[in-house]
Structure 1
Amino acid sequence: YNIIRTCKGFPFFMLEKSKTTAEIRAWFAQQWELLSEKYVEEYSAGKLDRMEKMFKGLSGKEEVVFQIPMQRPYTFYLPDLPTRTFFDTREFRLAAVLEENYEMIKEELEKVLTEDESKFAEYRGDGIASDKNRMTNKTGTWKVFYFWQQFLEQPENTKRCPKTFSLLQHLKNEKLLLGGMVCFSSLLPGTNIVPHTGPSNMRLTCHLGLLGCSGTKIFAGSDSASFQEGKCIIFDDSFLHEVHHQGNERRVTLMLDMWHPGMSELEIDVFKQLMQNSSSFMHPDEFFHSLKLVNPKIQ
C-alpha cells in the first residue's frame, strides 16, 4: 500500500518506504502496550477503558462499530463518548473570547485580503470526498489561510496576523487544539462544500463568522445552523456535514479545532503522547489518512 507522499522540508523523521496495513496495526498494538504501562495506575483503575477500545479497533483486534449512523470519523473513533451535532457556544469560554475579539481578528483578516490575497490556498481536502479529489461543487471555491496545519505552525502567515496569533496561543488553556487545523476559511458565493466527515470524534470544530456570512448554512447530521458575523458555531465534525453558500459575498470564518469536552485530561494526555510517538513512524501529514487502510469500514 503506497500511503506516503513526499513532503519537502519536513523537519522530523522521514520514511524511506510506505507502511502496510499489518505494519500499521502492529504499531498501534505496540503503542497501546507502551502507553498502558506508562499510565498503569490509571489503566488499572479503569480510567482508560475507552482508549483501550479505540486501540483495539486500530490494531485490528476488534471491529470498529459506530454508535450513531451519521457519525463516522475516518481515523480515530473513541467509543462511548457522548456527543451531539451542534453545541451551545455559551458552554465554552473559547467562544466568548473569540466573539469579544471579533473586530480585531476581522481587521487582520481584511489586511491580508487587501495586501496579499495569494496567501489563501486551495483547501486540501480530507475524509470521504477528498478521495475523489473534490471538496466542493464544480464551480465552487474553498480557500484557506493556515495558522497551523497538520501539527505545524505556518510562520509566514502567523507573522501577518500577530494579534490573532497571540490570542490563539493563549486559548490553549481553553481546549484549543493547536495540533489540529487553525485557519481563515474562505468560500466564494455559490460554493457548496460536499458532504464529508472529519478524522476524529475526539475534537470539535469552531467557526467564528468574520465576513459575508449572510446566506451561508452548515448541515451536520440531521441538524443545521446559519453563520453570523461576530458569532461562533461549534459542531462535531465527525458527523457527516456540508456547507451551502447562497449569499452574494465572499464568506470568511476563523476555523479551528478544539478538544471534545467529554474527554478527560488523562485521555487527552494519552492521545498527545500517541501523536508525539507517531512522528518517528509516519509523516503527520499522512498519518490520519493512512488509517483508512487499517479499517476500511471507517471510510
Structure 2
Amino acid sequence: MSLLSFDTATDYFLLTFVTVVLMCMIGVIVSKLLTSSAKPFSQLKSFESCKSPDCFRCAKVKDVLNVSFQRFLQYSRKTVTVNPADENMGLDRIKHSFHESLLTENSTDMTEMETIAHNQSYMLQQHSQKPVIFSLLDLKSEPFWDGVLKDDILKLEKNYEIIMDEFNAIFYHGKASDGWAMNSTPTGTWSIFCFINQGSVIPQNAELCPKTWQIVQSLQNLMTDCVFGNVAFSVIYRGTKITEHYGPTNIRLRCHLALQAPSSGSLTVNGISKKWKEGKCLLFDDSFLHSVEYHKASSRTESTPDGHSVLSSQASPDLTAETGNQDECTGEENACIRSILMLDFWHPGLTDKERKALGYSFSTLGTCVES
C-alpha cells in the first residue's frame, strides 16, 4: 500500500513539473510573438540611433521643439529691440508653425525620434509629406523640383569633374579612410564622408577636398549653421536598399550631384522614381516619403547563336538607354557603387528674414550621421 502511495505521489510530482515547464515554454513563445507583432514596422527600419546624447535626430522631438522655440522667441525679442518698428518681422508663419508642431507633439505619447520616423502609421500613409521634426506651414511642396536654385545647380554641374577627381582621391586611393562613416541599412553597404554634418563643419574632411569645399562654400543657398544642413559624399554598393523614411523638415531641399550613376540605381520620392545621371543634379524634398535602391544584377537566360542557353547578369538595355549610364562591375572591390555629392539647400519659398530666424532657432545642437 505504501509502495502504491509512493508511485502515485511521484507521478503527481512529475506531472506537475512537466506542466509547469510546458507553461513556461508557451509563455516565452507567446511573449516573443506579441513583441514582434507589436512592432510590425521594425523590418522597415533603415537606420540605427547614434550614441551621441546631443544628436537632434535621436533626441526627443518635444525637447528639440521646445529648445528651438525658445531660441525663436529670443531671436524675435532681439530683433524687435534693434528695430522696434519691425515688431512682426514677417515671421508669423514660423510662430504659428511652432505652435502647431508643439500642439501635435504634446498630443502624442511618442517621444523617440527613431520611433516617430519609422512609426507604423506613418509607413502605412505613404505618398505624403510628414516632416519628422518641424513643418513650416503654407510652404510650397513638390516631391521633385526643377527650375529653382539655378545658379547653385549650374555651378555644381559645371564643376562635376573637379569634384569627381577629389572624390576618387579619398575613396579609391585611401587618402581619407578615417573620414568615412557607415550608415546602417537592411541590406548592402552605405558609406558617408561628411563636410557638414547637422550644421557642423568637419574641418579635417574639408581640408582633404579643398576644391570641393571651396565650391560648396560659394553656393548662395546652401543651408549652413543649422542642424538640418548637411553636405557629404554618399556611396552605396550594389544590393543596398535604404528603406522608406521621412526627412526632419520641409524647410530644405536636398540635392544629389551624381558622380557615379549605375543604371540599376534609383531614388523614389512620394512614389515617383528617378535615376541619377552622372554630372547632373536631382533636387527633391526629402520630407516626403522616400527611399533609395541599387538593385543587384538580375540574371536572365539568353540564347547563343548555336542555340544554347546562358545566364547573363548585365543590366537591362532599357535602363542603360534611359539614363546613358553603364552598370558594369569589373570585379574590383569598389567598382559597383553609386556615388553622389549630397547637399541641403534652403527652400526657395523662404524669405531672407525667415532663413535667418530658422537658422538661429535650429542652430547646431550636435553631430550625427543623418539618414
Fold similarity call, TM over 0.5: yes
- Residue type at the aligned position of 1:284: G
3-state SS of the aligned residue for 1:164?
helix
What is aligned with 2:182?
Answer: 122
What is aligned with 2:141?
Answer: 83
Normalised by the length of structure 2, the TM-score is 0.61
When residues 81 and 156 of structure 1 are mapped into structure 2, their CA distance, relative to the original with a 3 A threshold, is same
What is aligned with 1:129?
Answer: none
1:33-112 → structure 2 map (5 Å cutoff): 33-40=73-80, 41-44=85-88, 47-60=90-103, 70-89=128-147, 91-112=149-170
Q: Do 2:68 and 2:361's aligned partners in 1 also have CA atoms closer than 8 Å?
A: no
Contiguous gaps of at least 5 residues in structure 1: 8-13, 124-133, 290-299
Q: Do 2:127 and 2:271's aligned partners in 1 also have CA atoms closer than 8 Å?
A: no
Instruction: Tell me which of 193, 210, 216 is aligned to 2:265.
Output: 216
Instruction: Tell me which of 179, 190, 197 is aligned to 2:239.
Output: 190
Instruction: Tell me which of 239, 242, 257 is aligned to 2:288.
Output: 239
Alpha-carbon deviation of 1:91?
A: 4.9
The CA deviation string for residues 219-252 of structure 1, in whole angstroms up to 9 with x for no partner, is 1012221101010000000001001112552110
Identity value in percent: 33
Distance in 2 (alpha carbons) for counterparts of 1:59 and 1:32: 13
What is aligned with 1:267?
Answer: 354
Distance in 2 (alpha carbons) for counterparts of 1:4 and 1:250: 25
Distance in 2 (alpha carbons) for counterparts of 1:257 and 1:142: 19
Distance in 2 (alpha carbons) for counterparts of 1:158 and 1:105: 12
The CA deviation string for residues 227-279 of structure 1, in whole angstroms up to 9 with x for no partner, is 01010000000001001112552110000100000011111010112134xx6
- Residue type at the aligned position of 2:246: T
1:277-292 → structure 2 map (5 Å cutoff): 283-285=365-367
Distance in 1 (alpha carbons) for counterparts of 2:68 and 2:203: 32
RMSD, aligned α-carbons: 3.2
3-state SS of the aligned residue for 2:218?
helix
Higher RCO, Cα 8 Å, sep 6+ = 1
1:168 equivalenced with 2:216 (yes/no): yes
Alpha-carbon deviation of 1:52?
A: 1.1
What is aligned with 2:342?
Answer: 255
Alpha-carbon deviation of 1:109?
A: 0.6
Distance in 2 (alpha carbons) for counterparts of 1:42 and 1:213: 52
3-state SS of the aligned residue for 2:244?
strand
3-state SS of the aligned residue for 2:286?
coil
Distance in 2 (alpha carbons) for counterparts of 1:212 and 1:69: 25
When residues 181 and 20 of structure 1 are mapped into structure 2, their CA distance, relative to the original with a 3 A threshold, is closer
Normalised by the length of structure 1, the TM-score is 0.75
Distance in 2 (alpha carbons) for counterparts of 1:85 and 1:105: 26
Distance in 2 (alpha carbons) for counterparts of 1:256 and 1:88: 16
The CA deviation string for residues 127-176 of structure 1, in whole angstroms up to 9 with x for no partner, is xxxxxxx5x333x11111111112221122111111101111111x2x01
- Residue type at the aligned position of 2:222: L
- Which deviates the most, 84-93 or 259-268? 84-93
Alpha-carbon deviation of 1:73?
A: 0.9
Q: Do 1:204 and 1:260's aligned partners in 2 also have CA atoms closer than 8 Å?
A: yes
Q: Do 2:149 and 2:348's aligned partners in 1 also have CA atoms closer than 8 Å?
A: no
- Which deviates the most, 265-274 or 33-42? 33-42
Distance in 1 (alpha carbons) for counterparts of 2:52 and 2:234: 26
Contiguous gaps of at least 5 residues in structure 2: 1-48, 108-121, 296-326, 329-335
Q: Do 1:42 and 1:48's aligned partners in 2 also have CA atoms closer than 8 Å?
A: no
Distance in 2 (alpha carbons) for counterparts of 1:20 and 1:243: 26
3-state SS of the aligned residue for 2:367?
helix
Q: Do 1:181 and 1:256's aligned partners in 2 also have CA atoms closer than 8 Å?
A: yes
3-state SS of the aligned residue for 1:112?
helix
The CA deviation string for residues 11-33 of structure 1, in whole angstroms up to 9 with x for no partner, is xxx8xxxx988766654554343
- Residue type at the aligned position of 1:227: W
Distance in 2 (alpha carbons) for counterparts of 1:170 and 1:269: 18
